[in-house]
Amino acid sequence: MANTFAMAESRGGALRRVALEAVSAARALADASGGGEVHALLAGAPGIASLAPELGKYGADVVIVVEHAGLANANSEVLAATAAVRIRSGGYRAAVFSSSAQGRDLAPRVAAKLGVAMAADVTSFELAGDALVVRHPAYAGKVIATLRLTGTPAILTLRPGARAAVESAKAARVESAQPAIDPASSRVVVKEMIAGGSAKLDIGDAPVIVSGGRGLKSAENFKLVEDLAAAFGNAAVGATRAVTDDGWRPHSDQIGQTGRQVSPDLYVACGISGAIQHIAGMRNSRTIVAINKDKDAPIFKVADYGIVGDVLEVLPVLTAAVKQARSQG
Ligand SMILES: Cc1cc2nc3c(=O)[nH]c(=O)nc-3n(C[C@H](O)[C@H](O)[C@H](O)COP(=O)(O)OP(=O)(O)OC[C@H]3O[C@@H](n4cnc5c(N)ncnc54)[C@H](O)[C@@H]3O)c2cc1C
């Protein structure tokens, strides 16, 4: 029986979906180790403590709340130091971060401070005796590496969407803690956070992503992609690198090996060829729909549903169908 630590990410005073995934994964690890507790670290501006019960719903036994006006925006130096102090004193079997931008920033710092093993971008894990065995895709998803982490705590970053957030209600106890470094004296100063792209939802959080490639022919035609995303109501817009390099979409929309890694419930690839570098960022999506006029386009090899046709003609029809389906409840 051993306790497990989870980093609960928040942004703008709200929990991120990856926070619930990290807590759920920590719950699974704690249960597999014979029923230890899950301790989730929640840091942010005063008032962030109100999110603690939500973490309890997903399996946290203890929520360590660190409230400070200087943490309104995530400060990696302060958060890494605070997480490291807690993990060092907590005697945890494992510590789960998300493989989000913030988690990829924090987890290696924490592992280095503690001098322990870390695995990044983990898609599955299991306890095997004294070791934590994890799998993660490497070489743009061409191989799946299996790693054996020995020693404690084992630190991992979990690929967003790789494991669903599962409700497992606990009445979480709340503990208050101080930041390990005063944010006012931190060498890192977060001056401003600018929301990327025009999409309302971040592509890392959206359950549906409608993504466009060069097959759309012009920046203006992305209106058709935005219309379909709006019809879903819970969708974000993504893009290939070809499109972001051409300036049709902001770089923050880019999905792939050198862009964002996503795994939404539904990924709609519009006029995207399916280059290995693009697939590396979206192949873990639960359901993939591809629209391409070339029936031999590689994207169809990873798609669950394929539409061979002109994306400029298919998109308005799909948008109308989604609107109609949603209006019928
Ligand atoms: C080191 C490196 C890193 C990279 N990282 C990334 C990355 O992170 N993300 C990424 O996306 N790419 C990345 N790339 C680029 C990648 O190799 C591809 O060039 C890119 O993904 C292609 O984008 P695309 O599918 O939009 O364009 P294309 O490959 O040009 O494909 C356009 C597709 O649209 C179809 N099409 C054309 N007209 C229509 C129509 N009217 N209706 C329907 N379909 C139509 C075509 O049949 C074609 O399949 C990287 C490349 C390198 C070398």
CATH number for the domain spanning 305: value is 3.40.50.1220
Give the integer Cα–Cα distance in Å for 282 and 265: 11
pLDDT of residue 199: 47
Measuring from each residue's beta carbon to the nearest atom of ligand 1, which residues come in under 6 Å? Answer: 213-215, 240-243, 254, 256-259, 271-273, 275, 277-278, 281, 291-294, 297, 310-312
Beta strands at 131-138 and 124-128: parallel, antiparallel or unpaired: antiparallel
Q: How many domains does the chain have?
A: 2
For residues 110 and 83, the answer to whether their CB atoms sit within 8 Å is: yes
The model's pLDDT over 208-221, given as tens digits with 9 standing for 90+, comes to: 999 999 999 999 99
One domain, residues 151 and 264 = no
- Identify whether 191 is part of a domain: no
CA 258 to centroid of chain Cα atoms: 16
pLDDT of residue 261: 86
One domain, residues 30 and 132 = yes
- Identify whether 141 is part of a domain: yes
Q: Is the pLDDT of residue 196 over 80?
A: no
Q: What integer best gives the mean pLDDT of the chain?
A: 93
Q: How far is the CA of 18 from the centre of ligand 1 (A)?
A: 28
The domain that holds 150 is classified in CATH as 3.40.50.620
- Identify whether 283 is part of a domain: yes
Give the integer Cα–Cα distance in Å for 157 and 44: 20
Position in ligand 1 atom list of the atom nearest CA 258: 8
Last residue of a domain, one of 185, 220, 251: 185
One domain, residues 176 and 214 = no
Last residue of a domain, one of 185, 216, 232: 185
Q: What are the backbone angles phi and psi of residue 282, rounded to the nearest 5°?
A: -135, 0
- Identify whether 45 is part of a domain: yes
pLDDT band at 140 (very low <50, low <70, confident <90, very high): confident
pTM confidence score: 0.76
- Identify whether 107 is part of a domain: yes
- Identify whether 26 is part of a domain: yes
- Identify whether 37 is part of a domain: yes
- Identify whether 194 is part of a domain: no
Domain that holds residue 277: 208-327
Q: How far is the CA of 271 from the centre of ligand 1 (A)?
A: 8
One domain, residues 152 and 275 = no
Q: Which of 70-74, 173-177, 239-243 has the lowest mean pLDDT?
A: 70-74
Question: b or e along 139-177 (b: 16 or more beta carbons within 10 Å of the residue's beta carbon)?
Answer: ebbeeeeebebeebbbbbbbbbbbbebeebebebeeeee
Pocket residue to mutate for ligand 1, from 268, 288, 292, most atoms within 8 A of Cβ: 292
The model's pLDDT over 283-305, given as tens digits with 9 standing for 90+, comes to: 989 999 999 999 999 999 999 99
Last residue of a domain, one of 128, 152, 185: 185
Tokens (6 digits) for 288 = 């993939």
One domain, residues 282 and 141 = no
